[in-house]
Structure 1
């Protein structure tokens, strides 16, 4: 567990991991990554109660990837669960995770990520992320696993790795904005399999206002674009090794391209409206808006269907009662993602083609 300024939830998380997991043979390694609050003192207080809790203190904030790599070096076990300080896995999580690594057919499994869920369901912004994690994140991971037998990205909040696989790929990249995305690409490039486990649920704290959501998605967008661009060379220089994963690469390439297309078409729409109004072409203006509204309605309807089926399929439909938030998510909150991708794209390009990404990190809340 990499922790940085986790005063609010650290004690709850550590106590939960010590007392509520249905497993026996495990240790907890907490890496305090240069916290400025009382994270370290809280951890030391809790350590007096639990003998399997070990603490590593880093004087200066060097980033989550650096903290995780330190933890790997001190870990005794062959399997390592990366768990955020604000994340609670289900009680049977370790039992379920281990099953994905057992047997001859699973010898090349490098990492398994669980099914994201929201812990703090206090307002419409946090509740909308239930919809997003279920339909968008979970749906993408299911599709990629079915098509390519790999995933584009682990969930950094809760993923179990094979220690040998982490060592084989050189650990987590410390010059990337998102270590969880880059490590998944490194693994399947080195022929390790990455898996999605929809039956393993973990709950995490999510941003509850637009400002913090924007900060979080900026990091996600930059990290995803960094990985995509930096793997162009891998894809075309090692086509045989990467052939199986080309659908994942192409899917993400289309996703990034779509965001730029959205921006370009929106700009064309604005200038066309200005032109029609300034030249008094009101008939053309009417047909322009009519065609656009028809397309928007079709997209809105298809989005609702996607969310409906995803909610029904995931965890036997227990989140179906959140479907009423879908129109809010489709109409407004999803726009945060394309906006942050466009804003962070220049920086991601700089990093991917020789620059350095920020190594430090902090909670988005």
Structure 2
């Protein structure tokens, strides 16, 4: 329903979450209908060369479905008016878990950033040294003299991130549990912001994902490109999903959880994508997972193609693991289930891009526009609108936090033009890893 409210003589329309969902869905469907209509000639011509089924697979995978997703996201973000956070009269105690494996170069900065928080409530920080072969444990031990809230749990053998977190969880003293990566740096009010968002969100909320940004963006062109992925793509996805009551990944890099809910779902599962599988367990149990867009953590992104590809393989494999472990989530009658089905389409899109768009682009260079041609430009209007919306939203948030959007034109150019040529083939490799049941390792983040 739509109703009006008066606030200091200013009237505005209020759209319920369900109405926003309906409007975004109808708008996306209209755009998709238009895209299908203008793609008829393209579909006919391509069918003559590769058959109707293959033509549908490729055209829908590289143009029609991405267009639907972009238009739905853009319309959702236009209508997103989340309530502002408010200061609390009492800030509860929190426990921070940090799983660390060979993090001697960064663990000191991570702990210093926690100290700079000046969080008003009680604080317990547990670093779980997961069998590191460097000086991680020694550095944490030395810092215990300085930080009274710091505890070291030193595990002799490396057994993976999920195991480390579960071991640390046994020592938790507070009802709110935060996880952060060992090579990260918290913005100075990140803990206050994420706790406020968690406690002011709907009562069935059991986890809230923070915002992850790239800390080492100046290292090389790859990290410069990833800066835009985190700033625009990942942030927008979480913001949109939280609008509809179900962020699909409360990432282990920085999220807050309810201790009792973690116990209920059995803690972190022993798998590659432990954070996404845990999040889906919470959603499957009927809980809501939110997102705090102004609780910022800066993390080190992969600096080499090899590590980047392995990271995205692991993310894609984690999604497959989540479907396998929680298939019943597909029949949950809630708005967030829409995005579960949305994720089901990703293997289709990644395969179509890898084995259709990339070869089609090569053919286009030789004058054959069967797959990539003028019709693929139908994606551009909604992609441009979505990017502009994302940028304006994130820039406004940065301004509120006294942060500045760094000028990074080279990274933006690669992000727009070539990023998918790395991202989507890497995701295909992740799907293959799960299908072929290759060995699962923690590796790097």
**DSSP 3-state at the match of 2:179:** strand
Partner of 2:113 in structure 1?
Answer: 16
What are the within-5 Å matches in structure 2 for residues 88-167 of structure 1? Answer: 88-102=185-199, 106-122=202-218, 123-147=220-244, 149-167=245-263
2:224 touches 2:410 (CA, 8 Å); kept in 1?
Answer: no
The answer to whether the aligner puts 1:183 opposite 2:269 as a matched pair is: no
Alignment partner of 2:264 out of 168, 183, 201: 168
Partner of 1:234 in structure 2?
Answer: 328
Segments of structure 2 that go 5 or more residues without pairing to the other structure are: 1-97, 399-403
1:21 touches 1:90 (CA, 8 Å); kept in 2?
Answer: no
Report the alpha carbon displacement of residue 140 of structure 1 after superposing the two structures with TM.
1.1
1:34 touches 1:59 (CA, 8 Å); kept in 2?
Answer: yes
Deviations 1:99-124 (A, max 9, x none): 23436x64321111111111112132
Alignment coverage as a number of residue pairs: 341
**DSSP 3-state at the match of 1:133:** helix
**DSSP 3-state at the match of 2:373:** helix
2:106 touches 2:184 (CA, 8 Å); kept in 1?
Answer: no
1:89 touches 1:203 (CA, 8 Å); kept in 2?
Answer: yes
Partner of 2:356 in structure 1?
Answer: 265
Aligned Cα root-mean-square deviation (Å): 2.7
CA separation in 2, counterparts of 1:177 and 1:121?
25
CA separation in 2, counterparts of 1:211 and 1:264?
21
Q: Return closer, same or farther for 1:270/1:150 CA change in 2, 3 Å cut-off.
A: closer
Deviations 1:95-154 (A, max 9, x none): 222223436x6432111111111111213221211211122111111121223x101111
Deviations 1:45-82 (A, max 9, x none): 11122221111111111111111111111010111110
Partner of 2:181 in structure 1?
Answer: 84
The answer to whether the aligner puts 1:343 opposite 2:429 as a matched pair is: yes
CA separation in 2, counterparts of 1:229 and 1:259?
19
CA separation in 2, counterparts of 1:83 and 1:163?
16
The answer to whether the aligner puts 1:333 opposite 2:411 as a matched pair is: no
What are the within-5 Å matches in structure 2 for residues 347-362 of structure 1? Answer: 347-349=433-435, 358=440, 360-362=441-443
The answer to whether the aligner puts 1:196 opposite 2:277 as a matched pair is: no
**DSSP 3-state at the match of 1:348:** helix
Segments of structure 1 that go 5 or more residues without pairing to the other structure are: 274-284
The answer to whether the aligner puts 1:70 opposite 2:167 as a matched pair is: yes
CA separation in 2, counterparts of 1:310 and 1:246?
23
**DSSP 3-state at the match of 1:100:** helix
